[in-house]
Structure 1
Amino acid sequence: MRQRPAPGDGASVTGTGRPTDAHGPLGTSGGALPLLAGESPDTAGEIARAVREGRVRAVDVVAGALERVERADPELCAFLDVWADEALRRAAEVDARVAEAHARVAAGRARVTDTDARVTAHDPQVTDVDAQVAAERARAHGTGSPLAHGSPTDLPLAGVPIAVKGRHGMRAAGPLSAAGAVVVGTTSVPGPGPPWQTWGRGAHGRTVNPWRADRTPGGSSAGAAVAVAAGLVPLATGSDGAGSVRLPAAWCGVVGLKVTNGRLPSSDRTGLAAPGVLARTARDAALWWQVVSAAPGHGGTVTGTNCDGSPPGGHRSSPVLGPFAPYGEGSAAPGTRGVPPVPPRFPVDAVWSPDLGFADPDPEPVALARSAVRRLVDAGVVRLVEPRVPPRLLDPAPAWLALRTGRTGTAGGAAAPTDDGTAGAGALRRENDARLARVFAEAPLLLTPTAPTAPHGHEGPGDVYSTALTWAFNLSGHPAASLPAGFGTDGCPAGLQVVAPHGREDLLLAVAQAAEADGRPRAEADT
């Protein structure tokens, strides 16, 4: 098991720096994925680049991931199914596409070289030199050619092994597979048993936290977070209906992103759940977003993306809650097809809240998240502002429970049937929406701890709802991410939750990447 670092050891501005000792998370031999001799392309972006450039085969990358899963999963129990044969077949197809792309590039260059040679020799058959050269170069570099995209292939996830959440997860994997990713299997989710969802059950048994086997990894995207944290795959899909991406991301020490509700297709008729991703780095999460938001029918505008299949328009809609708030002055959000993202100007104004005005979090996760915020401030990534009215939301538990179960009640008490639960949930949501609008009118970021407690044991969370600080943003629909915030005294990770206005995934990802760049804004880190 990976050892907990001493305070300040190996920590980036958000505490994302992983311990640099020789031990990896439970079930692995080290933190870096040994894919290339002398290199460690353990991020999705690095793997895809190596495959596209022909420095490594997708088949070898995927075989390495499958070997890691075979070795570690009997202990971690992160996977429900492993599709070894299908994954290797798919990886071979990626290699064939890459080889074909390289061959087309070589042929195009040969045509250009031949044309240039004939022009130089004043070939009498060339009557219009400029037109001939232009035509040949267009055939070599034109639309549809790999050179038109500035790379040997148009596969941004070429050969990247990924995992999908649960046995229905392939619904969300289509754009990723089209981008060259290779699904190696399905990850664990809660099974029959306890009603709380911060756990998972894989093919080999109960899913364990990769930092401490006696603790839960969180859920319901339990196996996805474990597979990423343990280095089995660099990316895994998730879904988040109350914190099901952000909580396991926090408790396993990885990046977790929930997108704006309704921005990507979802089968959840309540409108509470939104797709998301778990990744080892913010840059990989951004790569995932680049792929899924550019897919036809995904994320570009609200048109055609409502989770309830409602008609196009400037508002996202839930058949239970009604329309969510609009993205802004138009029906498209920044950073999507046709609407380029505007890089944020650092530091980005942010509001800090330890409890959102209603929760009762434990002191340690609050202190870890607050320390992460302090490092972000010191690094010039965010600037804390004091809002005129501090964030004080109504407890979303009764509304969430009413929408999900058709019953009302409090987080710690028995639920009671009601005829007007939906109406009450809508009223609570509208009030919290108004309060959040006042917060975002003063700053584009809201910062909180991701979870109110450290990871609990496998016996359950007790009377505390682990979702106390996350499910408010499933009701409101705001995009939110969990970033690693350091380690508690129990040796387990904690998370910092970052929330942005509707449709501002680009802002969340820019801040997350700046936090990883040694605490400096990305523009400075790259200079």
Structure 2
Amino acid sequence: MVAGWWGFRGGNGESCPEQDGERGVGGSVEASEYVGLSGVEIGGLVRGRVVSREEVVRAALEVVGERDAVVRAFVGVRSGVGGDGALAGVPLGVKGSEGVGSEQGRRMVAAGCAVVGETAVPRAGTAWQTWGWTPRGVTRNPWCLEVTPGGSSAGSAAAVAAGMVPLATGSDGAGSVRIPAAWCGIVGLKLTNGRLPARDRAGLNTPGPLARTVADAAAAYDALSGARTLLDAFPVSLRGAWSATLGFAEVDPEVAEIARTAAEALQGPLSLDATSLRLNDPAETWTSLRAAPIPPSLTSGVPIPSPSTRGEPDAASPTRDGSATSGGPSAASRALNDDALAAFFAHTDLLFTPTAPYPPHGHEGPGERMNVALTWAFNLSGHPAISVPAGFTREGLPVGLQIVARHGEEEALLRVAAELERRRPWPRWTPTMPPRDESPVKRQNG
């Protein structure tokens, strides 16, 4: 462990100071400068020939070499260079179960990103997937080393939060982009189902980026979708609704209060009302899709992953349209939820909830808690959703706010998230304090 510098600044809502002075003048960039740059800034500097791609990657690998000895976000490191494009030379972490050859990986590289490593995901053998594995040990949360960063995009979220890369790829079959984003104090975007090819045959596991800033998440979304998102085009009037539980979930009261306070910061252009929306717990429906047999008539032309799906913990068993292959209670429950959400979005623009019902758990696991309770309904319904930092618990652990929009309205999500970032700038983790020697989870449970 690197003594004397490891820890965090910015917990409990304290803002990090801006770096002063010019960065990267003369074709080089120092590691100390690199960690303060966003992906959009790096892309602009590289395209403007202020810094070189090679120097950016050198700085990124220096930071990875220093910080990943503690965080364990990467399972492999490489020296990519990147190409031209809006994200020219921007260092990128790639989710290890997805790889560079995925559609998401190819599009990010085509936008200019330089892949610097593959990030950790869980190993088989646990029912819970909110963790990451490396040969050096479990992936740690930069904000508190004794708790998990979430999962299954564990390494991607930890690498972004720790300043090793400004962007990383993830995939979200039940919350695996949004939950680690929430628990690592960063931004995570789940795309509308079908926007990119799903990572599973049921169509539930959707690619999506993780980033420290909304502008970087928007740049990644543009690279993936071909859009040109204008973050300053915030609507003058939006209807939003708040739900702490979606009608069924058990949620920590402190987490709910922190998330709601963040949502209320948008009031003015946004009206935020309580909602009577009540969904059925999607657990049975989601689980039935994982266990459903593969109808031969539906497998023709559908890419079939290997049985292990390269360790992808969100892989679900298939049908092409994502529907349950048998009728019964789970199919009926899914139809009721779809109808309830259609009625909700017919008159409301945005739904706000906590991203995860609890703070990050310790490395021993979540116990009986269901971390995906507030996220996996939208993998089944296909709606886009984003998690943005909402604040910190009394113990200094990050809490996320989830915002859900109508199908295909990722740009609306990004604009609202950018407005929240302007109104309530969230802190970036910085290594300024010694590591904690005791987990807040242990204190709470002890």
TM-score scaled to structure 1, two decimals?
0.68
Equivalent residue number for residue 78 of structure 1 = 73
Equivalent residue number for residue 14 of structure 1 = none
Equivalent residue number for residue 482 of structure 1 = 387
Where in structure 2 are the equivalents of 1:138-153 lying within 5 Å?
none
Change (3 A) 1:479 1:47: same
Change (3 A) 1:186 1:511: same
Q: 2: CA distance between counterparts of 1:215 and 1:7?
A: 16
Give, in angstroms, the shift of residue 277 of structure 1.
0.7
Equivalent residue number for residue 177 of structure 1 = 109
Letter aligned with residue 469 of structure 1: L
Where in structure 2 are the equivalents of 1:337-486 lying within 5 Å?
343-377=233-267, 380-387=268-275, 390-406=276-292, 423-486=328-391
Match of 1:9 among 7, 14, 24: 14
Q: In structure 2, the residue corresponding to 1:156 is in which secondary structure?
A: coil
Q: 2: CA distance between counterparts of 1:163 and 1:39?
A: 15
Letter aligned with residue 260 of structure 1: T
Sequence identity percentage? 48
Q: 1: CA distance between counterparts of 2:423 and 2:86?
A: 25
Q: 1: CA distance between counterparts of 2:387 and 2:76?
A: 27
Say if 1:381 and 1:519, in contact at 8 Å, map to a contact too.
no
Say if 1:188 and 1:202, in contact at 8 Å, map to a contact too.
yes
Letter aligned with residue 96 of structure 2: G
Q: In structure 2, the residue corresponding to 1:497 is in which secondary structure?
A: strand
Equivalent residue number for residue 510 of structure 1 = 415
Q: 2: CA distance between counterparts of 1:511 and 1:283?
A: 12
Structure 1 residue runs without a partner (length 5+): 11-18, 23-32, 95-153, 295-334, 408-418, 521-527
Change (3 A) 1:257 1:465: same
Letter aligned with residue 345 of structure 1: P
Letter aligned with residue 351 of structure 2: L
Give, in angstroms, the shift of residue 439 of structure 1.
1.4
Match of 1:54 among 49, 52, 61: 49
Equivalent residue number for residue 199 of structure 1 = 131
Q: 2: CA distance between counterparts of 1:267 and 1:500?
A: 22
Q: 1: CA distance between counterparts of 2:173 and 2:139?
A: 20
What do you get for the CA RMSD once the two structures are aligned? 2.6
Give, in angstroms, the shift of residue 490 of structure 1.
2.0
Q: 1: CA distance between counterparts of 2:44 and 2:59?
A: 17
Q: 1: CA distance between counterparts of 2:8 and 2:60?
A: 23
1:261 aligns with 2:196: no
Give, in angstroms, the shift of residue 167 of structure 1.
4.3
Q: In structure 2, the residue corresponding to 1:64 is in which secondary structure?
A: helix
Match of 2:40 among 35, 42, 45: 45
Q: In structure 2, the residue corresponding to 1:400 is in which secondary structure?
A: helix
Match of 2:180 among 248, 253, 266: 248
Change (3 A) 1:58 1:5: closer
Give, in angstroms, the shift of residue 422 of structure 1.
5.7
Decide which structure has greater helix share: 1
Say if 2:231 and 2:415, in contact at 8 Å, map to a contact too.
no
Say if 2:234 and 2:419, in contact at 8 Å, map to a contact too.
no
Q: 2: CA distance between counterparts of 1:421 and 1:358?
A: 24
Match of 2:210 among 278, 284, 295: 278
Q: 1: CA distance between counterparts of 2:368 and 2:158?
A: 25
Q: Deviations over 1:44-71 (max 9, x none)?
A: 1000000000100110000111111111
Change (3 A) 1:284 1:395: same
Say if 1:34 and 1:40, in contact at 8 Å, map to a contact too.
no
Give, in angstroms, the shift of residue 423 of structure 1.
4.7
Give, in angstroms, the shift of residue 445 of structure 1.
0.2
TM-score scaled to structure 2, two decimals?
0.80
Equivalent residue number for residue 158 of structure 1 = 88
Q: Deviations over 1:280-339 (max 9, x none)?
A: 000100000111102xxxxxxxxxxxxxxxxxxxxxxxxxxxxxxxxxxxxxxxx579xx
1:66 aligns with 2:61: yes
Q: 2: CA distance between counterparts of 1:466 and 1:353?
A: 16
Match of 1:187 among 119, 122, 129: 119
Q: 1: CA distance between counterparts of 2:13 and 2:61?
A: 34
Say if 1:381 and 1:514, in contact at 8 Å, map to a contact too.
no
Give, in angstroms, the shift of residue 441 of structure 1.
1.6
Change (3 A) 1:355 1:210: same
Equivalent residue number for residue 405 of structure 2 = 500
Q: 1: CA distance between counterparts of 2:47 and 2:98?
A: 29
Give, in angstroms, the shift of residue 7 of structure 1.
5.3
Equivalent residue number for residue 524 of structure 1 = none
Which structure has more RCO (C-alpha within 8 Å, separation ≥ 6)?
2
Q: 1: CA distance between counterparts of 2:140 and 2:407?
A: 34
Q: 2: CA distance between counterparts of 1:341 and 1:485?
A: 19
Say if 1:188 and 1:201, in contact at 8 Å, map to a contact too.
yes
Q: 2: CA distance between counterparts of 1:38 and 1:62?
A: 13
Give, in angstroms, the shift of residue 35 of structure 1.
4.4
The 4+ residue runs of structure 1 with deviation greater than 6 A are 36-40
Equivalent residue number for residue 99 of structure 1 = none
Larger-gyration structure (1/2): 1
Q: 2: CA distance between counterparts of 1:73 and 1:9?
A: 24
Q: In structure 1, the residue corresponding to 2:387 is in which secondary structure?
A: strand
Q: 2: CA distance between counterparts of 1:202 and 1:38?
A: 28
Change (3 A) 1:181 1:8: closer
Equivalent residue number for residue 123 of structure 1 = none
Number of residue pairs the alignment of both structures matches: 380
Structure 2 residue runs without a partner (length 5+): 1-5, 20-27, 294-323, 426-446
Say if 2:97 and 2:121, in contact at 8 Å, map to a contact too.
no
Q: Deviations over 1:140-186 (max 9, x none)?
A: xxxxxxxxxxxxxx610111000110143211211111111100110
Q: 2: CA distance between counterparts of 1:58 and 1:6?
A: 33
Change (3 A) 1:191 1:386: closer
